[in-house]
Amino acid sequence: MRGMLHVLKLLASRQVDEVYGSAALRNAPPKHRIPEQEIPPFDAYQLVHDEVGLDGNSRLNLATFCQTWVEPEVHRLMNECIDKNVIDKDEYPQTAELEARCAHIVGDLWHAPETGHPIGTSTTGSSEAAMLGGMAAKWRWRARMQAAGKPTGKPNFVCGPVQICWHKFARYFEVEMRQVPMEKGRLMLTPEEVVARCDENTIAVVPTLGVTYTLQYEPVEAIARALDDLQRRSGLDVPIHVDGASGGFLAPFLTPELRWDFRLARVRSINASGHKFGLSPLGCGWIVWRSMDDLPEDLIFRVNYLGGDMPTFALNFSRPGGQVVAQYYDFVRLGREGYARIHRSCAETAAWLSEQIAALGPFSMIYDGRGGIPGCTWTLREDAGVPYNLFDLADKVRSRGWLVPAYSLPANVTSLVVQRVLVKNGFSRDMAGLFLQDLKRAMAQLAKHPPGRSLAENEVGSFKHT
């Protein structure tokens, strides 16, 4: 009764208070400890709403690979599933069924051979999926070495300029990362560089289908052929795990002829982000193994305290079911036709934007949006003759809300600074045109008012020149 009276009192006070005149909003909320008293839900909502309003507009975030626009129906499904734990397959059997269907659909997209009984699972994203793929590769390698009576203390994997999750995998699971450094004129893996770094302790080679830094696809098929040749010459049988975080949901629709997936016998597992070009909301990833033999049994745990005997292989446990349900919605809603149409539109916009940026003059295009991830990457020409750098340009366009990163490449080309735009579903040709206008405006302003000089100095300089 006392609780009900308190609620009625809160509601009564709210009826006479304009939202920003309410008692709750007249003072700042505690920042480092939980408050003593409760406040009405509408006031709490307004406080939090106003704080997150200070974040950037995700639709203008051209740095992220993640999806920033979803259909209204996805919002509804996410709301309906907010209380469902995807790990609890006994309580939510239909959500578990949708997860299994999605894993099979993804495996089919990647040409997993049904005769080998492929197996897959959802994850919180491609980073978790990548680590699961790496763990399985390490366990398989260790079993082979133990069977041969050889030491298992120095596992390694070979990769190019990978996403940070692979650095985490190397450190967390004590695997040497033999990363092929970038060189001027070579910004990704090549078969020759891969083979030179493989030995009997190599658990896997990890090519990336869509390098984070440049958006280009690494040559998976050529690397597989080189490893086939290595096995013929030396007996070393090195598997491939493909990091398809972005390209895994692009290549099947944009370049179906490209052989990068389970059509190559050496590819044992693939990870991808559903929440990138899989078009699902944030928090969804997938991994598929070629066959059940590629996922060691002792990595799978079974629990029964949620109602039934449930096998699980993941780095976490409880996870919301909405992302998986939304992924299934996307598959049903779009089909191959819809995915191809959306990704083709993004690729066309990326190619157009690349042409427009190249025509501006001071830039040299590293990637033009064709053959890889929809987007483009450029650097400032050495003879550009402009009084600003790409960091200045990134900062200037941010004043209009656009998040367009500038960053230096990793070893051995750290002196090369590039800028990158991702083109995703929801970034229309009209928005690309608006961005281009703001980019031109930013370049003109930086030319007129070079960084490092005060506004007064710039105006005096302009007056003297006139």
Neighbours of 128 (CB within 10 A): 20
Q: How far is CA 237 from CA 202, 215, 421, in A?
A: 9, 29, 38
pLDDT of residue 457: 46
DSSP 8-state code for residue 199? -
DSSP 8-state code for residue 364? E
pLDDT of residue 116: 80
Beta partners for residue 177, in sequence order: 157
How far apart are the two ends of the chain, measured CA to CA in Å?
79
* Amino acid identity for residue 122 in this structure: S
Spatial separation of the C-alpha atoms in residues 167 and 102, rounded to whole Å: 28
Return the CATH fold of 75-332: Aspartate Aminotransferase; domain 2 (3.40.640)
Which tokens hold the place of 91?
């309580």
What is the SS3 assignment for 283?
A: coil
User: 427, 349 in Cβ contact below 8 A?
Assistant: yes
Spatial separation of the C-alpha atoms in residues 301 and 66, rounded to whole Å: 30
Spatial separation of the C-alpha atoms in residues 142 and 299, rounded to whole Å: 13
Return the CATH fold of 2-55: MYOD Basic-Helix-Loop-Helix Domain, subunit B (4.10.280)
Contacts of 168 (CB under 8 A, 6+ apart): 127, 131
pLDDT of residue 99: 95
DSSP line for 60-84: GB-S--S-----HHHHHHHHHTTT-
Residue 370 — left, alpha, or beta (φ > 0 → left; ψ -120 to 50 → alpha)? beta
Helix axes 322-358, 93-109, angle to 10 degrees: 40
Spatial separation of the C-alpha atoms in residues 99 and 274, rounded to whole Å: 12
Stated as kind and residue range, the H or E segment containing 106 is: helix 93-109
Contacts of 132 (CB under 8 A, 6+ apart): 121, 123, 271, 287, 313, 314, 315
pLDDT of residue 462: 38
Beta partners for residue 217, in sequence order: 209
DSSP line for 365-419: EEE-SSSSSSEEEEEE-TT---S--HHHHHHHHHTTT-B--EEE--TT-TT-EEE
Q: How far is CA 301 from CA 86, 286, 298, 304, in A?
A: 16, 18, 7, 10
3-state secondary structure 346-362: HHHHHHHHHHHHHCCCC
Stated as kind and residue range, the H or E segment containing 51 is: helix 41-52
Q: Answer whether 2-55 and 339-465 agree in fold.
A: no
Which backbone phi and psi does 365 adopt, to 5 degrees?
Answer: -80, 130
pLDDT along the chain (466 residues), means of 10: 58 61 84 91 91 92 94 96 89 92 97 91 95 98 98 97 96 98 95 98 98 97 98 98 98 98 98 97 97 93 65 83 97 98 98 98 96 97 96 96 95 95 97 98 96 54 36
**CATH code for 339-465?**
3.90.1150.160
Which backbone phi and psi does 325 adopt, to 5 degrees?
Answer: -60, -40
| pTM for the whole structure | 0.91
Please return the burial class of 46, using the count of CB atoms within 10 Å of its CB with bins 0-12, 13-18 and 19+.
Answer: middle
What is the SS3 assignment for 177?
A: strand
Structural domain spans, the chain: 2-55, 75-332, 339-465
Spatial separation of the C-alpha atoms in residues 28 and 37, rounded to whole Å: 14
Closest to 116 measured CA to CA, from 250, 248, 257, 265:
265
Tokens 């490092």 appear where? 452
Which backbone phi and psi does 88 adopt, to 5 degrees?
Answer: -90, 75
Which tokens hold the place of 373?
């991830």
